[in-house]
Amino acid sequence: MHNTSGARADRFAAYMAEIASVLGNPRRNGPMTSYCTGLLMPSDRKSVEPMAAMTAPERTAAQHQSLLHFVGKGDWSDDAVLAKVREHVVPAIERHGAISAWIIDDTGFPKKGKHSVGVARQYCGQLGKQDNCQVAVSLSIANDHASLPVAYSLYLPESWIDDAERRGRAGVPASVAFKTKPRIALDQLQWACTNGLPRGDVIADAGYGAEARFRAGITELGLRYVVGVKSTNAVWTKIAVGDADVEMRLSVEKVALTLPDDAWRALRWRQGTNETLSGRFARLRVRVATDAPEEWLLIEWPEDAKKPTKYWLSTLRPSISFAHLVSRAKLRWRIERDYLELKQEIGLGHFEGRGWRGFHHHATLCIAAYGFLVTERAAFPPSEAIAAGIFEAAEVPEGWRPRGASASHAAARSRQHRDVAA
């Protein structure tokens, strides 16, 4: 039915059989395999309708109903599927080194209307501004070679919590109460600790790290962190006043502006696609409260900037090298790549259903498809991993076009899916 490289097709079939083993009903295995196949096929749109046309061009209507029911109504466990994905993918990642980081972040999905579950006017990172969107919080585990999302939760805004009618239409479980995004993230970290995931240092941006309760929660879990903070976050530090050092509480920006020129160092943190990535940094030991233990304040101030651009607080060990501290802070690029590939290659943001179950089922299946790409990269050098796509484009029924498309709209003949090299 689809043109694939034979060996890779066999590996994909074996992978899907393993993942589908936890669905609870053998009749779900086919829809799951078809859905994940559609996510890996080249198409500009990875919603149910075009995936049905690509995966079953001879019976598109029946396939559409099958996939729609499987993702939107299917009574199968996201947790069980994600656990099976981890069981298969994490060992492949660890062949290139131990897990070293747990990375927290969120991602937004622009939406029109008000009926999609969790939609509200809020900050959307994809757009870089406040707009109508859904936002999901995730936890990824990573090392320097690869990463994998292991937890994924929709943020439900306060405007939804007491709206029984909207909650009912979207199928939001009665047990779901309002939680801030940092609270959701802490729950994901607690879950990861309870379930014995390979430990890593927690990495997050200032949207999380600026909150003292979030940082304290990480410490209470017995984890270390490197988290972004805002320029206005205050710390206690010693400042030279005359001949004496006086401990003062200052914003991290003011602390940065007091540092002498010799406090700043140019450091490289990784090799990018076209160049070595580097920056200008300073670090010092500070306290977030007078009775708190010391931790690191890391500051980035590019040569061409008028003032520092980024700040981190970190409870990594006092003896950590400067270069290692910078490298760990910058490892957050891994989750940015997760989202880039999950959205652009897999279609994470293409789900058109409105319900709670479908939103999470679609994300779980996207992570399962992404997990297969991760295992392929881990098993082969980049030159082989990108030599061929997972699936080539299928012929769709003549004259077929997505709903809402103009008569002149040709069925998708998108670019060949690429197995992006790490």
Report pLDDT digits (tens) over 335-366.
888 788 888 889 999 999 999 999 999 999 99
Lowest-pLDDT range of 52-56, 81-85, 395-399: 395-399
Which H helix or E strand runs over 280?
strand 276-286
Q: How far apart are CA 224 and CA 293, in angstroms?
A: 13
Report yes or no on whether pTM surpasses 0.85. Answer: yes
Cβ atoms of 98 and 143 closer than 8 Å: yes
The mean of the pLDDT values for the chain is 88
pLDDT tens per residue across span 181-225: 999 999 999 999 999 999 999 999 999 999 999 999 999 999 999
Residue 156 neighbours by CB under 8 Å, 6+ apart: 117, 118, 172, 176, 178, 179
State residue 137's pLDDT score.
97
**pLDDT attached to residue 127:** 84
Q: What is the pLDDT of residues 269-322, one digit of tens each?
A: 876 667 788 899 999 999 999 999 999 999 999 999 999 999 999 999 999 999
| pLDDT over 90 percentage in the chain | 74
210 burial level (CB within 10 Å; 0-12, 13-18, 19+): buried
What does the alpha-carbon distance between residue 300 and residue 64 come to, in Å, rounded to a whole number?
Answer: 50
For residue 392, is pLDDT > 70?
A: no
H helix or E strand, kind and range, residue 194: helix 181-194
Please compute the mean of the pLDDT values over residues 94-100 and round it to a whole number: 94
Instruction: Give the pLDDT of residue 385.
Output: 44
**Given a cut of 70, is residue 405 above it in pLDDT?**
no
CA dihedral 410, 412, 415, 421 (to 10 degrees): 170
Give the mean pLDDT of 137-159.
95
pLDDT for residue 421 is more than 70: no
